[in-house]
Chains A and B, each alone.
Chain A
């Protein structure tokens, strides 16, 4: 490899430096029909799954084709997206918060031609490159975190379980037959950088063992005070330990206080948190962020632990499917999962889904726990 300079001079980092310029102005990227009608949209309609039309006061229309995508995306795939956008959308495209791709055009014919074209595009292994859907009362794309692809504290992979689950519920991505929207998200550890705590179905990676302590290396690789300070529950303390007959400075972990967040490992690589046997996925349900009808809600844990079963996580996917099926069969129109459960009661949710209620599901973590126990004579047998 021959080093190719961008023009940056490492001897003088401030020379010719540009900083603090922020992102490009969004207005540069508007499709013309969007630029012309911004703030003057009258209404929209989902013509078929994945295809929307928005109608402006001017009478102009923009047709949007929404396609699913893996958020882990190669430049080769992005270039194919660009080819499509050049062919049908005058070189414009956008992405959604849920990692979908939106191709916009002002012509219905072009939109339909594009949809037919994209439906035929497959990856070498046979999966769709651009499945249309993610609209209306169905399951949209799963938002997720990095997992084993790039994170140092994950308790599970993200891209793999997401692929396996989306394969399982694929029919609901391309249809609009559920009682309401159903949003799934996945975070690969409890730090939840993906903030999955308000999803209809949230999957979260859980460690179940405190970190190992590599005493021989703790003092050499880490600054003990920083590892101690990193622990949110105060479970890490400095300790002198005997290694190979000599005393070394290391840390001790209070195993009863540790909630397996991995923050100490971030500061100190001699405190590994991952454990193939201990790690897995917890399932949460009933959260939402929309204010429609009911108020925003947190998701609640309904399965404490499912082991990691790569490559296709069959138990996790089956559990998600079970919840989706029970919801689809029993909820009333417009009820999100949490609103359905609020009506029927949690005891009924567990009997309808067949999920086992275990002691882990009764909150015992600090003050808010009490408010989750039942303080009424009203319940169902």
Chain B
């Protein structure tokens, strides 16, 4: 018998998509039965009270959570989000229900030994409910009480060799796509640099000293599976400088229908026979391809590496060998002056251990942003306020045409004094000799 009737939530148990309501109910039953004889350290009925609070929200159309200022464990400025229920008498088991962010292993590969240990920890010291994973990539352990925070951290660090993720004005938990581990498109080892920078910047991740949050994301290719260009203050997106590798016999196999185009991604509808000219050559955004019926040619100098042709014919076309990444900076969600996409800072950087060049750029940007950024100002907003030129100066880069989509629309340019012969000082005497007052 459920502790709280949940007629509204029950309607979310039907339908084919996995029902979180059924899953939370399953956990409620598991905790009640407690087959593993777990010594629950927070009220075992918290999944039921969570359903109760949620049902109330479904009735009221309003949340029943309050924020709390708790940040984490001793010495850390992030990793825990404090939550308090605003109906604690009705739902005492979730009166305190804090979130713990655990830094996920890069690209979210696990073995079951690790996951089971995590489950055991969260069965005992938390609600038994998680997010696999949060938006930024962390393992989110959903719901525990204040006295458990240090205990959880102690077990995470001592027994699971794991650490908390970021929150607040910290470096947030870096995230990457699976990169070269299982993808032929990846231009660099996204996981390795993600882990290397996570480890190198542990202090920034745990002890906040930034004006606001700062996110790193690493996409192995321009397809952008972790959405780095939309979300990260600093991102690397894989690219290459040399030629797309072509296997002409495989091209012929696609044309001849031996290989499924798009790696089968469009196989659910009859789009007609694969037409290389129409589907690849004419869809190429830079029109740098030609096919004469026997041979596919690419004018690589004109290619902008959009990935379309490679996505369509992965067995025939491969990324170049001189691969690395482009650096983008300043992406953010809309609050306040509108969303920003990452802007191209460096067209190409080698991405090889120990990643010295990348780290140098990051640290120059941080030093500048920490000095000049206003409170609660994302890097992208600081750049907008102080100009992209300032950023280039800070990083020590020369302006290039690739930095802009188009040159400025107005002639209100700032010239540096040293750019103008004689500087900004005027010779009034000489002027008056030429012009009467």
Interface positions, chain B 70-84, Cβ under 8 Å from A, are 74-76, 83
Most buried by B among A49, A104, A136, A166: A136
Interface positions, chain B 100-143, Cβ under 8 Å from A, are 102-116, 118-119, 122-124, 128-135, 137, 142-143
Which 4 pairs from chain A and chain B are nearest by CB?
A125-B13, A136-B265, A276-B61, A167-B15
Residue ID in chain B nearest A27 by CB atoms: B191
Q: Are B279 and A128 within 8 A (Cβ)? A: no
Given contacts A167-B15, A289-B229, 20 further A-B contacts (CB under 8 A): A21-B163, A22-B195, A22-B199, A22-B205, A29-B114, A43-B184, A72-B142, A81-B115, A124-B13, A148-B53, A148-B65, A166-B17, A177-B269, A195-B135, A269-B66, A277-B61, A291-B222, A298-B339, A312-B12, A366-B337
Q: Are B124 and A4 within 8 A (Cβ)? A: yes
CA distance A259 to B337 in the complex (A): 12
Interface positions, chain A 181-226, Cβ under 8 Å from B, are 187, 190-195, 197-198
The reply to whether the CB of A58 lies closer than 8 angstroms to some CB of chain B is no
Q: Are B222 and A94 within 8 A (Cβ)? A: no
Most buried by B among A46, A68, A170, A291: A291
Known: A20-B202, A127-B15. A195 touches B227 (CB 8 A): yes
CA distance A95 to B180 in the complex (A): 16
Residue ID in chain A nearest B74 by CB atoms: A13
- Which chain A residues border B9 with CB–CB below 8 Å? 160, 311
Q: Are B189 and A39 within 8 A (Cβ)? A: yes
Q: Are A93 and B306 within 8 A (Cβ)? A: no
Q: Are A366 and B264 within 8 A (Cβ)? A: no
Residue ID in chain B nearest A71 by CB atoms: B131
In the complex, what's the smallest C-beta–C-beta distance from A280 to chain B, in angstroms? 9
CA distance A28 to B162 in the complex (A): 13
The reply to whether the CB of B333 lies closer than 8 angstroms to some CB of chain A is yes
Most buried by A among B40, B58, B76: B58
Annotate B1-41 by CB proximity to A: 1 below 8 A, 0 otherwise.
Answer: 00000001111111111111111111100100000000111
CA distance A287 to B229 in the complex (A): 12
Q: Count the B residues whose beta carbon is within 8 Å of the partner chain — how many?
A: 149
Q: Are A127 and B308 within 8 A (Cβ)? A: no
Annotate A264-308 by CB proximity to B: 1 below 8 A, 0 otherwise.
Answer: 011001000011110100000001011111101010000000001
- Which chain B residues border A375 with CB–CB below 8 Å? none
Q: How large is the interface on A (under 10, 10 to 19, 20 to 34, 35 or more residues)?
A: 35 or more
Residue ID in chain B nearest A277 by CB atoms: B61
Known: A23-B195, A128-B18, A192-B334. A38 touches B105 (CB 8 A): no
- Which chain A residues border B265 with CB–CB below 8 Å? 46, 135-137, 176
Residue ID in chain B nearest A369 by CB atoms: B338
Q: From the candidates A20, A78, A152, A308, name the one contacting B132 in the complex (CB within 8 A).
A: A78
Q: From the candidates A19, A69, A198, A275, name the one contacting B227 in the complex (CB within 8 A).
A: A198
CA distance A129 to B41 in the complex (A): 29
The reply to whether the CB of B63 lies closer than 8 angstroms to some CB of chain A is yes
22 A-B pairs (CB sep. < 8 Å): A13-B74, A26-B107, A34-B182, A39-B189, A72-B20, A75-B27, A78-B115, A94-B110, A95-B110, A135-B265, A136-B264, A137-B269, A150-B99, A163-B17, A177-B266, A191-B335, A192-B333, A197-B334, A291-B306, A296-B229, A311-B9, A365-B338
The reply to whether the CB of A350 lies closer than 8 angstroms to some CB of chain B is no
In the complex, what's the smallest C-beta–C-beta distance from B348 to chain A, in angstroms? 15
- Which chain A residues border B334 with CB–CB below 8 Å? 190, 192, 197
The reply to whether the CB of B175 lies closer than 8 angstroms to some CB of chain A is yes
In the complex, what's the smallest C-beta–C-beta distance from B283 to chain A, in angstroms? 6
Known: A44-B314, A71-B131, A194-B135. A26 touches B17 (CB 8 A): no
Q: Residues of A with Cβ closer than 8 Å to B?
A: 1-8, 10, 13-14, 17-26, 28-31, 34, 38-39, 41-47, 49, 54, 62, 64, 68-79, 81-82, 85-86, 91-97, 99, 104, 123-131, 135-138, 143-154, 157, 159-160, 163-164, 166-167, 170, 173, 175-178, 187, 190-195, 197-198, 229, 232-233, 259, 261, 265-266, 269, 274-277, 279, 287, 289-294, 296, 298, 308, 310-312, 333-334, 365-368
In the complex, what's the smallest C-beta–C-beta distance from A328 to chain B, in angstroms? 9
Q: From the candidates B13, B109, B337, name the one contacting A127 in the complex (CB within 8 A).
A: B13
Binds A, one of B147-155, B292-300, B390-398, B418-426: B147-155
CA distance A75 to B34 in the complex (A): 13
CA distance A311 to B11 in the complex (A): 7
CA distance A339 to B163 in the complex (A): 42
Q: Are B279 and A43 within 8 A (Cβ)? A: no
The reply to whether the CB of B410 lies closer than 8 angstroms to some CB of chain A is no
The reply to whether the CB of B252 lies closer than 8 angstroms to some CB of chain A is no
In the complex, what's the smallest C-beta–C-beta distance from A90 to chain B, in angstroms? 9
Q: From the candidates B116, B135, B142, B163, name the one contacting A79 in the complex (CB within 8 A).
A: B116
Interface positions, chain B 239-287, Cβ under 8 Å from A, are 260, 262-269, 271, 279, 283, 285
The reply to whether the CB of B307 lies closer than 8 angstroms to some CB of chain A is yes
Q: From the candidates B113, B133, B230, name the one contacting A91 in the complex (CB within 8 A).
A: B113
Q: Are A97 and B223 within 8 A (Cβ)? A: no
Q: Are A46 and B62 within 8 A (Cβ)? A: no
Q: Are B128 and A197 within 8 A (Cβ)? A: no
- Which chain A residues border B87 with CB–CB below 8 Å? none
- Which chain A residues border B151 with CB–CB below 8 Å? 5-6, 8
